[in-house]
């Protein structure tokens, strides 16, 4: 009889408990709402109705929505690749002063909340945006010369803005990691530079490009806030349509059916992505050292690198700067009015809740989300890291499932599920916290898991032999080593909660809005004061998220490759 | 007429000289080893031969033709990389065929040649295998087959055995020589391992701090290292400075040194020079006496260290007769042929 194996099995028994709480959470607040969506779609009147769903599925409006969603996502992906691939080449091959700064600046858009991005684009190119205002004021236009608002170009531009960094980072770091010897070997075997690119570099890059493109596609496919705010009523992707059917038209069976389509396509895309990244994970990164970066020397190189950087920084920074400027600029000149208005409950405001409440709400929700997501995440990732159980890959996949579900679908599921007994949370602020936690939870697990796995098992064994009890090991070995990862997870959860819009647009109650919801309300109302307050609140939200991101970049390890 | 001629190559890196005034030539079919410690510039020299890096000064001639301005892919030189640089998205035979494809060989000829090359390196039947299924030694063979297939005019090998373990290296080094010789390939082989260089090379060039210290066939190099740097790099320990403290040097050794060039300041006693004295008084041998300070049995021989006056000398002794224990007195006979003068002075 082996003592250690007996001890291990009893330990494992207690480890199972680690998984139980997260699973109960997922069961109640993820699978149960999802199940209700299915039931609502297949049993609209409480009885099985195949005809209804077939009718909905084949109706031209549904097909049109699906087609438009795919089409705009594909076009956005294509445009993003065109802009970002030259950047990936620069990133992987050149060194120049300020490279790190450029890298950080170009990544900020990716972490901004969708509502902020949409507001920023309106601040720059919208009807009353900076460019149009200046054109009318200084160049004598009688009409705003740029009429992008409520056109497809507006949100395509925003999608490129959003996803540039994603392609840059995935493809760029993969490209930089390709052993330069492969190119040299091809060259010495007689391949010209063009042949080398075609036969060696491109085939090796394809998995990375494919993976990045698929991710961009997924993000654009589930894009909600940007399309809702920039596209206007003329454009409906699945997400926007679910929202309209549920919130504006109260056609819940229709919304449920659309949700199912959304869930199925999403799962399919995520599955393809997982399969692809597994395949591309081969060890062709040479000896782990990355290629030597060249300085930008020749005139041609200077022109190429310079023009790309100018273009990209222009594209990425202009909306953010315009947002800040616009938040201080009224028709009568520079002003703090919009910020002041945020802090004062004006009686004539359409807002019957003072805007400052939204800010406090958001912070409160974010702190609660952070705590809850961390507790669940620590518990789940401890199980996944320490368990020797065969089934843990399965549980890992289960835990990641919420990632593959759009926030709008979740929000919709919540309002049809958690508004009546046995779980009547409809009027409770918990609904928002639960939704945010569900969105943040997979990210927290993903930040913690590698860190827990990295702790060599021998450290714990050494501590045991030096006389530490399991509890002492947890506090003296595990926790100090995990602190950076816990911090990363916490910031992630906080930032996600601050910016979350899709689910919040369903579950926030009128009297307890969050910042993104408040911004959306401001934007939906006419008047300069509302517009200005949207700008001001977006600016605040942008600063908070960007700060959180910059803080993450400063942290050592995994974040920001060097 | 040499095939490859290198004249006065210079290379700098960040203002510091990396290689200076490198000149040598190589005949068709010869194998040259560039031997030196890391940082000696040997890989840079190889990369300049390949055209992947350009010299700051000097010239490289191949046959009659100056290589300056000829890009790597137009040189028809082969190169074997330290990490092999096998193309991960191609299987074994596709890797071997790549160079043939670039030379526009017809399909059938390509696979025939590739199969031949794989057979040559002992990988029959590996054609369709995936790269991930191969061991380190097998990958090394594929890389060799790939670089030989297009019949390169010159083959460059950059530490091709560097990432393999000792036993495999010793085995493959001999095999590489056999294969290169059977194909009549002219080759330049970079390594930091002397035993590898001795096994593979016709000529060895010792590089040290960016300079070529000596160029000689292996045996000559071992018997007569040019200077202290070369001797030290080859692992010789008994380097005696004749100028520092003549009184500490055994009279017999000093007497022998008297027959060398009067400018000689350094003396090398090779470790295999000694055997335990049997007929004391023989005039043809140099006799020294000392105290055993170290005695390590290594199977084929004893590694011993002996204190002779102020000197401490290391020798490899035959295991018969067994040398006395540490602390005992010992008398050794040295073969005068194994005591050689070194040029120059002691420098680090």
* CA A297 and chain centroid, separation: 37
Contacts of residue A195 in chain B, CB cutoff 8 Å? 102
pLDDT given for residue B165 in this prediction: 83
Per-residue pLDDT of chain A (562 residues; tens, 9 = 90+): 344 443 444 344 567 778 888 999 999 889 988 888 888 877 766 666 666 667 767 777 888 889 999 999 999 999 999 999 999 999 888 888 888 888 888 888 888 899 999 999 988 988 878 888 888 888 877 877 877 777 888 889 999 998 998 898 888 888 888 888 899 999 999 999 999 999 999 998 988 898 889 989 998 998 898 898 888 777 888 999 999 888 888 888 888 888 888 888 888 888 887 777 666 543 333 333 445 688 888 888 899 999 999 999 888 999 999 999 988 888 778 888 888 888 776 555 555 677 888 888 899 999 999 999 999 999 998 888 877 767 777 888 888 888 878 888 888 888 888 766 666 666 677 889 999 999 999 889 888 888 888 887 778 777 777 777 777 788 878 888 888 889 888 988 998 999 999 899 888 888 888 999 989 988 888 888 888 888 999 999 999 888 888 887 776 543 333 2
Cβ separation B88–A286 shorter than 8 A: no
Mean pLDDT of B240-267: 80
Whether residue B276 contacts residue B331, with contact meaning beta carbons closer than 8 Å, is answered with yes
Cβ separation B85–A182 shorter than 8 A: yes
CB distance from B147 to chain A under 8 Å? yes
Chain B's closest residue to A289, CA to CA, is B83
Cβ separation A189–B89 shorter than 8 A: no
Cβ separation B52–A191 shorter than 8 A: no
Q: Does residue B258 carry a pLDDT above 80?
A: no
Which of A185, A191, A195 lies nearest to residue B85, judging by beta carbons? A185
Q: Which domains does chain B have, with CATH numbers?
A: 4-224 (3.40.50.300), 231-342 (2.40.50.100)
Nearest to A440 by CA among A486, A372, A508: A372
Contacts of residue B140 in chain A, CB cutoff 8 Å? none
Chain A's closest residue to B99, CA to CA, is A189
Nearest to A146 by CA among A129, A158, A159, A160: A129
Interface test with B, best of A189, A193, A208 (most B CBs within 10 A): A189
Q: Does residue B114 carry a pLDDT above 90?
A: yes
Which pair of structure tokens corresponds to residue A388?
């020797």
Give the Å distances, CA to CA, from B328 to A232, B14, B324. 100, 55, 6
Please state whether beta strands B311-317 and B4-13 pair in parallel, antiparallel, or not at all (unpaired): unpaired
Contacts of residue B78 in chain A, CB cutoff 8 Å? 188-189
Contacts of residue B150 in chain A, CB cutoff 8 Å? 189-190
CB distance from B117 to chain A under 8 Å? no
Question: For chain A, which residues lie within 8 Å of any Cβ of chain B, measuring from their own Cβ?
Answer: 179, 181-182, 184-193, 195-196, 199-200, 203-204, 282-284, 286-287
Whether residue A412 contacts residue A444, with contact meaning beta carbons closer than 8 Å, is answered with no
Q: Tell me: the pLDDT tens digits for B81-98? A: 888 888 888 899 999 999
Which of A186, A191, A286 lies nearest to residue B83, judging by beta carbons? A286
CB distance from B263 to chain A under 8 Å? no
What's the per-residue H, E or C state across A461-494?
A: HHHHHCCCCHHHHHHHHHHHHHHHHHHHHHHHHH
Which of A188, A195, A286 lies nearest to residue B79, judging by beta carbons? A188
Q: Does residue B227 carry a pLDDT above 80?
A: yes
pLDDT given for residue A3 in this prediction: 40
CB distance from B219 to chain A under 8 Å? no
3-state secondary structure of A229: helix
Which pair of structure tokens corresponds to residue A335?
């002003």
pLDDT given for residue B291 in this prediction: 93
pLDDT given for residue A150 in this prediction: 79
Q: Tell me: the pLDDT tens digits for A105-148? A: 888 888 889 999 999 998 898 887 888 888 888 887 787 787 77
CB distance from B13 to chain A under 8 Å? no
């Amino acid at each position: 009889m082996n003592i250690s194996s007996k001890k291990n099995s009893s330990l494992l028994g207690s480890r199972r408990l680690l998984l139980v709480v997260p699973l109960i959470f997922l069961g109640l607040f993820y699978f149960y709402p999802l199940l209700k969506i299915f039931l609502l779609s297949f049993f609209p009147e409480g009885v099985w109705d195949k005809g209804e769903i077939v009718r909905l599925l084949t109706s031209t409006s549904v097909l049109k929505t699906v087609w438009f969603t795919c089409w705009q996502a594909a076009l956005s992906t294509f445009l993003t690749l065109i802009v970002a691939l030259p950047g990936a080449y620069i990133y992987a091959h050149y060194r120049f002063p300020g490279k790190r700064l450029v890298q950080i600046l170009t990544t900020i858009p990716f972490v901004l909340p969708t509502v902020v991005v949409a507001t920023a684009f309106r601040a720059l190119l919208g009807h009353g945006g900076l460019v149009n205002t200046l054109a009318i004021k200084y160049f004598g236009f009688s009409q705003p010369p740029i009429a992008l608002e409520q056109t497809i170009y507006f949100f395509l531009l925003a999608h490129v803005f959003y996803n540039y960094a994603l392609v840059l980072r995935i493809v760029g770091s993969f490209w930089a990691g390709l052993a330069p010897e492969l190119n040299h070997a091809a060259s010495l075997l007689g391949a010209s530079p063009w042949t080398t690119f075609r036969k060696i570099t491109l085939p090796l890059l394809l998995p990375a490009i494919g993976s990045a493109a698929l991710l961009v596609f997924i993000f654009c496919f589930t894009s909600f806030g940007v399309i809702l705010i920039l596209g206007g009523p003329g454009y409906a992707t699945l997400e926007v349509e679910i929202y309209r059917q549920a919130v504006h038209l109260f056609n819940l069976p229709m919304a449920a059916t659309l949700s199912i389509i959304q869930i199925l396509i999403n799962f399919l895309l995520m599955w393809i992505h997982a399969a692809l990244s597994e395949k591309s994970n081969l060890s062709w990164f040479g000896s782990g050292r990355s290629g030597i970066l060249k300085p930008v020397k020749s005139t041609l190189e200077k022109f190429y690198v310079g023009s790309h950087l100018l273009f990209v920084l222009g594209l990425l920074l202009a909306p953010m700067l315009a947002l800040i400027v616009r938040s201080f600029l009224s028709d009568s000149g520079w002003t703090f009015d919009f910020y002041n208005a945020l802090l004062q409950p004006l009686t004539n405001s359409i807002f019957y809740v003072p805007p400052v409440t939204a800010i406090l709400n958001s912070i409160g929700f974010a702190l609660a989300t952070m705590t809850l997501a961390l507790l669940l995440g620590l518990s789940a990732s401890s199980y996944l890291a320490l368990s020797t159980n065969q089934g843990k890959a399965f549980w890992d996949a289960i835990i990641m499932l919420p990632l593959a579900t759009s926030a709008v679908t979740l929000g919709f599921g919540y309002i049809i599920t958690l508004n009546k007994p046995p779980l009547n949370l409809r009027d409770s602020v918990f609904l928002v916290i639960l939704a945010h936690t569900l969105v943040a939870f997979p990210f927290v697990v993903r930040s913690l898991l590698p860190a827990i796995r990295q702790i060599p098992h021998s450290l714990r064994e050494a501590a045991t032999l030096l006389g530490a009890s399991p509890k002492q090991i947890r506090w003296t070995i595990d926790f100090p080593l995990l602190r950076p990862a816990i911090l990363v997870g916490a910031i992630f959860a906080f930032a996600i909660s601050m910016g979350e819009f899709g689910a919040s647009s369903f579950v926030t109650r009128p009297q307890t809005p969050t910042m993104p919801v408040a911004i959306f309300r401001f934007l939906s109302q006419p008047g300069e004061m509302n517009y200005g307050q949207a700008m001001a609140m977006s600016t605040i939200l942008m600063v908070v998220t960007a700060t959180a991101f910059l803080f993450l970049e400063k942290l050592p390890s995994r974040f920001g490759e060097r | 007429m040499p095939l490859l001629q290198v004249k006065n190559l210079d290379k700098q890196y960040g203002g510091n000289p990396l290689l200076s005034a490198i000149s040598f030539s190589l005949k068709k079919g010869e194998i040259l080893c560039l031997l030196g410690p890391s940082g000696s510039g040997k890989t840079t020299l190889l990369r300049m031969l390949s055209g992947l890096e350009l010299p700051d000064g000097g010239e490289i001639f191949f046959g009659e033709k100056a290589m300056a301005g000829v890009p790597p892919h137009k040189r028809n030189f082969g190169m074997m990389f330290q990490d092999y640089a096998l193309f991960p998205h191609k299987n074994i035979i596709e890797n071997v065929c790549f160079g043939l494809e670039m030379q526009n060989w017809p399909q059938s000829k390509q696979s025939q040649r590739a199969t031949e090359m794989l057979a040559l390196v002992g990988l029959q039947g590996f054609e369709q295998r995936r790269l991930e299924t191969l061991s380190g030694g097998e990958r090394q063979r594929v890389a060799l087959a790939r670089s030989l297939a297009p019949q390169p005019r010159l083959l460059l090998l950059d530490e091709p055995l560097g990432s393999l373990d000792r036993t495999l290296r010793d085995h493959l080094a001999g095999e590489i020589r056999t294969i290169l010789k059977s194909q009549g390939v002219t080759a330049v082989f970079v390594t930091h391992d002397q035993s590898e260089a001795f096994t593979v090379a016709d000529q060895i060039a010792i590089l040290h701090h960016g300079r070529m210290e000596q160029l000689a066939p292996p045996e000559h190099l071992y018997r007569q290292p040019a200077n202290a740097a070369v001797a030290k790099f080859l692992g010789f320990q008994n380097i005696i400075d004749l100028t520092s403290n003549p009184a500490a040097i055994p009279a017999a050794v000093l007497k022998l040194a008297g027959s060398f060039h009067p400018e000689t300041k350094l003396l090398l006693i090779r470790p295999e020079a000694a055997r335990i004295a049997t007929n004391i008084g023989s005039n043809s041998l140099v006799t020294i006496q000392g105290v055993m300070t170290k005695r390590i049995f290594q199977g084929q021989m004893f590694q011993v260290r002996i204190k002779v006056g102020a000197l401490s000398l290391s020798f490899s002794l035959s295991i018969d007769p067994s040398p006395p224990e540490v602390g005992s007195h010992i008398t050794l006979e040295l073969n005068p042929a194994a005591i050689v003068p070194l040029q120059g002075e002691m420098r680090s």
